[in-house]
Amino acid sequence: MRLLQNRRWPYVAPCLASVLLAGCTARDAKSWTPRTQVRWHDLLTESAEWSCNGFRLLTPESTTGLFPTTIGVTRVAIEDADGDRFSRAVLLQDPRNEFLQWNSTLDDQFAVSEVFPIAKRDLGGGEAIPAQMVAAMRALRAGLGLIYAVNELSEHEVEMFGAIYDTQSARPLATIHAQAVSMVSPAERDEDDPTPDPWETDARALVRERFGTLVHACIRQMIRQDRPAQVEAPEGWTPAGPTRLAEWPPRYFDGQP
C-alpha cells in the first residue's frame, strides 16, 4: 500500500478519548486527562461493523457507477460548552490542510478526480450529525464522502477512524480504523540523545500516515469492485455516419478557399 507522499503538513491537535472506543489496549499515564470522546455513532448514519487497524467494506457485492467520482471529506470533534451535559459534535479542521492531505493521499487514483473539504458553513445551519454532513456532500456534487475523527487514547497512543459514504443513498460503504503508539515517550528519552523527529516517532503523525494508507487501500478495493455504469446516448444524438463526406483535395488550404 502506498504511504502518504508528504507528511510534513500542519495538523490540529486531536481530541482526547477513552480506550473503550477503540477496543484495543492503551497505556495509562498520570499526566493524561481524558476529554469527551468521539464515538462511532457520531460518524455513522446506521450501525456498521469495523476492524481495529484495518478497513472493512460493508457492501461485499459489486457496485455500479460509483467511479469516477469526487470525494467530500470532513473531520468531527466533540465540543464541551458546559461540561458533558452540553457536548455536541462539531467540524474541526483547517480546510487548506484537508485539501492538501487528502488530494496527496489519493493523487494516483485516476478514478478520483478531486477531494475537497466540507466546512461548517456547508451544513446550511444544521448540526454536525452524519445525515447532515452527507447531505452537504451530496449538495456539493460529491459522489462519495469521508467522515472521520481523531482520538487520543492515552498520552502516547492515538487513533483515527471514519466511514466512507455513498452520498446518493446516504449509506456507509466502508469503515476504517487506525491506531498508533509513540515510538519514544518523553519519560523514556535520554537527555544526552538528540530529540527524535516527531514525524517519525510521534503517535499523532504515525496514525495519520497509517490512516491515510488504509483510506488509499480501501478506495482502491472499492474501485476494483465497481462496474462502469451503462451509458446510453439519447435517441437522435448518435449519427449513423460522418456528418459530412470527406473532400480531397480540401476546399480550404492555409485559410484560403
pLDDT at 245 over 80: no
Mean pLDDT of 201-210: 89
Q: Tell me, what's the pLDDT at 193?
A: 61
Map grid coordinates 495538523 to a residue: 11
Domain 35-226 -> CATH class: alpha beta
Q: Which residue has the higher pLDDT, 17 or 171?
A: 171
Note whether 70 and 114 are within 8 A (CB): yes
Joined together, the cell numbers standing for residue 123 give 451544513
What is the pLDDT confidence band of residue 15, given thresholds at 50, 70 and 90?
Answer: very low
Number of Cα atoms under 13 Å in the Cβ half of residue 223? 17
Mean pLDDT of 188-212: 77
Q: pLDDT over 70 for what percent of the chain?
A: 70
d(CA 19, CA 132): 28
Q: Which residue has the higher pLDDT, 43 or 2?
A: 43
Q: Whole-prediction pTM value?
A: 0.74
What is the pLDDT confidence band of residue 26, given thresholds at 50, 70 and 90?
Answer: very low
pLDDT at 118 over 70: yes
pLDDT at 16 over 70: no
Query: In this predicted model, what pLDDT tens digit does every residue of 122-176 receive, in sequence order?
Result: 998 889 999 999 999 999 999 999 999 999 888 889 999 999 999 999 999 999 9
Neighbours of 145 (CB within 10 A): 28
Query: In this predicted model, what pLDDT tens digit does every residue of 27-69 receive, in sequence order?
Result: 444 566 777 789 999 999 999 999 999 999 998 788 999 999 9
List Cβ neighbours of 28 (8 Å cut-off, separation of 6 or more): 154
